Every structure is written in C-alpha cells, then in structure tokens.
Amino acid sequence: MKKVPTGAGPRSGDAAEVAAALRLVVGRIARRVRQAHSVGELTLSEVSVLARLDRDGAASPGSLAELERVRPQAVASTLAALEERGLVVRRQDAADGRRAAMSVTESGRGLLADRRSESVRLLTDAIEEELTPSERRTLHSVLPLLERLAEQL
C-alpha cells in the first residue's frame, strides 16, 4: 500500500492552492476511470447527457444544452449519436407540441448501469487496496464538501 505523507499538498488552506491540487487529482481519477472503459464506447458528452436524462427525466435539446453548458449544435450532435444507438428517444413535448423532448431508453439505462458498475468496481478495488479504514472514513467525510463544490461550478 502506497502512503502519501500526511503533510503533503497545500498546507496553508489557500483557496488557489487547494483548487489547483483538487483539479489535478480529480482530473487524474476521472482520466483513469475513463481509460478503464472500452474504446468505442460513449464519449464523455454522450455519457453526461445520458446520465442527466436518466437522473432528471425527459428534457428538450435546448434545455440540455443550457444544463450541459454547451452550444445547441453540440447537444444536437450528441443526441443524434445517442438516438442512432437506441439509447435515447425523441418524443413530442407534452407541454408544447412544437418542441421535442428527449428521454433515455431501457437500453440507455442498461448501458449506464453497466458503466457505473465497472467504474464503481474499479474505484472500490483501489480504495480497498490503497486506503486504510481510517483513510476511507476521512475520504467519506469529504464527499459532501465535494458535492457542494460540484453544485457551484
């Protein structure tokens, strides 16, 4: 088990130092989890849109673009790829028949579940191999803070 010195990293609590270190470590974790998935699977944009539809329910392409903070053309391309693979379906918006509402299909839900299971397994293995029980509790206690940060970005 590799140990990181307890005094490593930002010492002063300076927001810029913490932000830089957090960006680096979260980026590494995300990259390694992404690399564990098969080549030819979904792009990050596709996973993000699919997960949002699964979590939040049907949405218009325009609202998805806004929520994902990308241009409508980018979401249109992402949705077309997902629709072509049968992972989302386009229906008429019940509130406004002129608009489309996109929903995740059962195939899309299954793919997300498989992907999540693989990612969770990878993270579980690393946590079990590398962290002591005390370090696991510390990591767990930080999760609400990370969630609050994620909501503010």
Residue type, 9: G
Among 59-63, 82-86, 102-106, 147-151, whose mean pLDDT is lowest? Answer: 147-151
Q: Among all chains, which residue has been given the structure tokens 């498989």?
A: 114
- What pLDDT does 5 receive? 46
**Phi/psi of residue 99, nearest 5 degrees:** -105, 155
Average pLDDT, the chain: 88
pLDDT tens column, 91-127: 987 777 788 899 999 999 999 998 888 889 999 999 9
Question: Is the confidence at residue 80, as pLDDT, over 50?
Answer: yes
pLDDT for residue 148: 92
| Predicted pLDDT of residue 4 | 46
Q: Give the CA distances from residue 96 to residues 25, 62, 112, 126, in Å, rounded to whole numbers and listed in that order.
A: 44, 13, 29, 48
Give percent of the chain above pLDDT 70: 90
Phi first, then psi, for residue 53 (nearest 5°) are -65, -40
Provide the 10 A C-beta neighbour count for residue 87. 24
Which CB contacts under 8 angstroms, 24+ apart, belong to 22-31? 22/149
Q: At what angle do helices 106-130 and 44-56 cross, to 10 degrees?
A: 110
The model scores a pTM over 0.75:
no
Instruction: Write the pLDDT tens digit of every residue in 128-141.
Output: 999 999 999 999 99
DSSP conformational letter for 62: H
